[in-house]
Amino acid sequence: MPIDLNSVQQDLCTEQNLIHFNSAGASLMPKQVLDCQIQHLLLEASIGGYEAARKKTADIDAIYSSVAKLINCEISEVALVENATIGWFSAFYAIDFKAGDKILTAQSEYGSNYLSYLQLAREKGVVIEIIPSTSSGEVSVSALQKMLDDKVKLISITHIPTNGGLVNPIVEIGKIAAANNILYLVDACQSVGQLSVDVKEIQCDFLSATSRKYLRGPRGAGFLYVRKTIISSLNPPLIDVRSATWNTLDSYQLRHDAKRFENWENNYAALLGMGCAIDYALHIGMHNITAYNAVLAKSLRHSLTKIKGLSLWDIGREQCAIVTFSLQGIESSKVQVLLLEYNINVSCSRPTSTLIDASTRQLPDLVRASLHYFNHQAQIDLLLSALSEINDQHLKSK
Ligand SMILES: Cc1ncc(COP(=O)(O)O)c(C=O)c1O
């Protein structure tokens, strides 16, 4: 069944004339997601936070089921966390790296992840190696194959980078990781909610994601998947009374499920909101969302080619609904501000968020227009006319 665009529009909490092309930053929550959080906050205020959580135990448990359904795993493999970074850190720093161990990653790797590699390179002597990209821009699976040796401890890949439409071939990479028994960590922060993500198909050991982006959930929530067969071999970097039990005065026992990576205190309103957002996406259907977004993004990329002096920067054999471009002679941060005058939200992607990719491709600051299924063609047309006006005014002022 195709997406019921009318009901999607009616579920928005925004003003009619706002054009939000920033789902890769923080998307727009449907009313149901907002209401779910407000209800929980009201309950907390009226009966007490602990009592509210106890009363809503079944709903809180259901968040795990929603995540499990979304990514095709078991509930015992899900940890609910504050954001994608915390999830990713919990996985990464739980791995027992030794000096000389190699981490293989992609050219488009996200800044926070890369900083962690650098930290371990400095502190533990791990070696970071960048997998070359193909001529179309995604990770080269054949190059990866050639880089394998017994020192490779981790393959760590961002599915969709922060700075553009590239979609990395995480299933093909997963086949190699599985065949060679190498730990495989996937940062799916920009893809969950936008593309179907199935951890069994990907064959990853870990996958991290956030709520506020393509899932259309609230800020301050996210999740981590950890494959059940490896949980007991991992040592979380931080533990508390949630992740472990203090058995005797001088010993503790870590949990055997993915809650080993959680901590005790939570913003339950936000987590419930994330669960509701996942259910909303599942109701619409991930395949429907992907298909609709692909049409919209193709249309935007095609339209943008008509603007003189505009450069499109997206690479990759497969591209998603994140569209990046720059206008000759106008700073992207200025374009972002000027578009706000037309009620159009976009974001600006800076080289420091993906420094290797930015240096290799000599990227300037980019305008990032990230589309989602509540957007439509008329909004693309308005973006185009706004950009044309901005461009014309710039050319006249020269
Ligand atoms: C590729 C990628 N990974 C991770 C993150 C971090 O996500 P969070 O802010 O939820 O921790 C981002 C945020 O923009 C991102 O783009």
Residue ranges making up the domain that contains 226: 32-283
CA 397 to chain centre: 39
What is the number of other CB atoms lying within 10 angstroms of the CB of residue 105?
Answer: 24
Q: How far is the CA of 68 from the centre of ligand 1 (A)?
A: 20
Cα–Cα distance measured from residue 291 to residue 174, given in angstroms and rounded to the nearest whole number: 24
* Coil vs helix vs strand at 90: helix
In a domain, 398, yes or no: no
Same domain, 356 and 340: yes
pLDDT confidence of residue 334: 97
44 in the same domain as 78: yes
- Per the CB < 8 A criterion, the answer to whether 301 and 311 are in contact is no
The answer on 331 and 254 residing in a single domain is no
Is residue 143 located within the same domain as residue 275? yes
Residues having CB within 6 Å of any atom of ligand 1: 83-85, 110, 158, 161-162, 187, 189-190, 210, 222
d(CA 335, CA 341): 10
Which helix (DSSP H) or strand (DSSP E) does residue 137 occupy? none
Q: Are residues 110 and 124 in the same domain?
A: yes
Domain total for the chain? 2
**Cβ(55)–Cβ(47) below 8 Å:** yes
Indicate which residue's Cα is closest to atom 4 of ligand 1.
189
In a domain? residue 188: yes
Residues 194 and 154 grouped into a single domain: yes
What lies within 8 Å, CB to CB, of 200 at 6+ separation is 72, 73
Regions of the chain with pLDDT less than 70: none
pLDDT (0 to 100) of residue 395: 86
Domain boundary among 268, 283, 298: 283
Task: Tell if the pTM clears 0.95, that is, is over it.
Answer: yes
Strand-pairing partners, residue 166, are 319
Output the domain CATH number for residue 333: 3.90.1150.10
The token duo for 29 is: 């929550």
Same domain? 270 vs 359: no
Distance 209 CA to ligand 1 centre (A): 8
Query: For residue 396, what pLDDT is reported?
Result: 87
Of 210, 211, 320, 356, the one to substitute when testing ligand 1's pocket (max ligand atoms within 8 A of C-beta) is 210
Domain boundary among 283, 309, 326: 283
Are 237 and 368 in the same domain? no
169 in any annotated domain: yes
Provide the greatest CA pair distance for the chain.
76
Nearest to 154 by CA among 184, 126, 127, 191: 184
Per-residue confidence (pLDDT) for residue 146, from 0 to 100: 98
pLDDT number for residue 103:
98
User: Are both 268 and 334 inside the same structural domain?
Assistant: no
